[in-house]
Amino acid sequence: MSQTVTLTQAEKPISYDINIPYVKVSDDLEKNVKYPKYLPTWDKIWFDPLQPFEYEDPALRVQDKSKPNLLPAGTKVSHIQPCIGSVVEGVQLNKLSDAAKDELALLISERKVVAFPEQDLIDAGPEAQYEFMRHFGKPNYQPISGSMKGYPGFHIIHRDGNVDEINRFLEQRTTTTLWHQDVSYEIQPPAYVLLGLLQGPDVGGDTVFAATDAAYKRLSPTFQSFIDGLKAVHSSSKMINHARLTGGLVRKDSVQTVHPLVRVHPVTGEKCLFINGEFITKIQGLKEPEFHTMQEFLMQHMITGHDFQARVRWQPRTIVMFDNRSTMHSAVVDYIDEDTGAKPRHIFRLCALGEKPIPVNAREK
């Protein structure tokens, strides 16, 4: 006869990702929220496995590389770092034509991360935000974390207080950073991702991005030739099992997919490392100690490569769009008060699913 096991507070697993809420925000905290409509909900929806689909990258439709529709005279473009990251001022995303959106996809492919401060799209509502991202690809539906009622493509990132949870997390972890590529376990992972800041601390809460194509180029030709043909197994099982263990809502069975360890970007033609500290469970053809050594080396190569990274400092009503194929990223949870925990930080994410990752030897097949 089975028995229900109730875990004590000490026995409960620490948060999988300290950025993500797994429970409803308390009534006491709701008064601190500037955009209550975007508080996380856990609707009991079930998603079947993603089926293969045709994908045309909108960047490939651009004829004029100067991007006249997106960047007319008077637009200001400032680079964060030479090889990655730009800030664009004087452009309102909700006013872009389809041709300008195509050019935006090209700009993101080239610069990898693009920030747009003071965006009216933040206040345009979920339907307008949903429709905007549909131009860049099919929406991704989040399997476990909080979403918006009626809009399952929204992934809500919200932190406010939770001092006990944060303290427990940092008792076991040395850092809050969690370097990853979004939803890499899907058969066709996201190409373009949008983050919209609804509310954030005055200082802190930055997001750091690393360029996976630049990181690949730094490797020796001998090492490049070795990893070019390797394939990695990506799985969402750890995330799904954690949600079930903590009593969280699960909307989709775990997904396991084999992807190339090095993928070719369809727009730039660059080779990009497709490495992920959260979702990769093995590299085919390598024994377990070899896999762990390889993964640790590549992850540390990405994390410590400050000369191919960009740190985005959030400003009010900022939208950041990034290329999920040529970047890794991590939020920085440094906005913590010792008495109350995290200061309010509220972001929504929308992902546009792209092509099946292209292996290096694709043209040879």
Q: Is residue 137 part of a domain?
A: yes
Q: Tell me, what's the pLDDT at 7? A: 45
Does residue 10 sit within a domain? Answer: no
Q: Is position 13 within any domain?
A: no
Domain membership of residue 207 (yes or no) is yes
Structure tokens at 116: 């747009």
The DSSP string of 207-254 is EEEEEHHHHHHTS-HHHHHHHTT-EEEEE-HHHHHHHHHTT----S--
pLDDT of residue 3: 42
Q: How many domains does the chain have?
A: 1
Q: Look up residue 24 and give its two tokens.
A: 């409803």
Burial of 188 (0-12, 13-18, 19+ CB in 10 A): buried
At 269 the three-state DSSP class reads: coil
Confidence (pLDDT) at 171: 81
* Residue 296 placed within a domain: yes
Report yes or no on 348 lying in a domain.
yes
For residue 149, what pLDDT is reported? 87
**What is the CATH number for 339?**
3.60.130.10
Nearest partner of 97 among 40, 135, 129, judged by Cα: 135
Cα separation values, 123 from 35, 38, 76, 190, Å: 9, 11, 23, 24
- In this predicted structure, what is the pLDDT of residue 365? 40
Answer whether residue 250 is part of any domain. yes
Which residue segment(s) compose the domain that 228 sits in?
A: 27-42+54-364
Say what the pLDDT of residue 24 is: 58
Tell me: the pLDDT tens digits for 1-29? 434 434 445 456 655 565 555 455 566 66
Beta strands in 80-137 (DSSP E): 86-89, 113-116
Q: Answer yes or no: pTM beyond 0.85.
A: yes
Give the whole-angstrom CA distance, residue 151 versus residue 217: 39
Listed as ranges, residues in the chain with pLDDT below 50 are 1-8, 10, 22, 364-365
Q: Is residue 14 situated within a structural domain?
A: no
Q: How many CB atoms lie within 10 A of CB 94?
A: 15
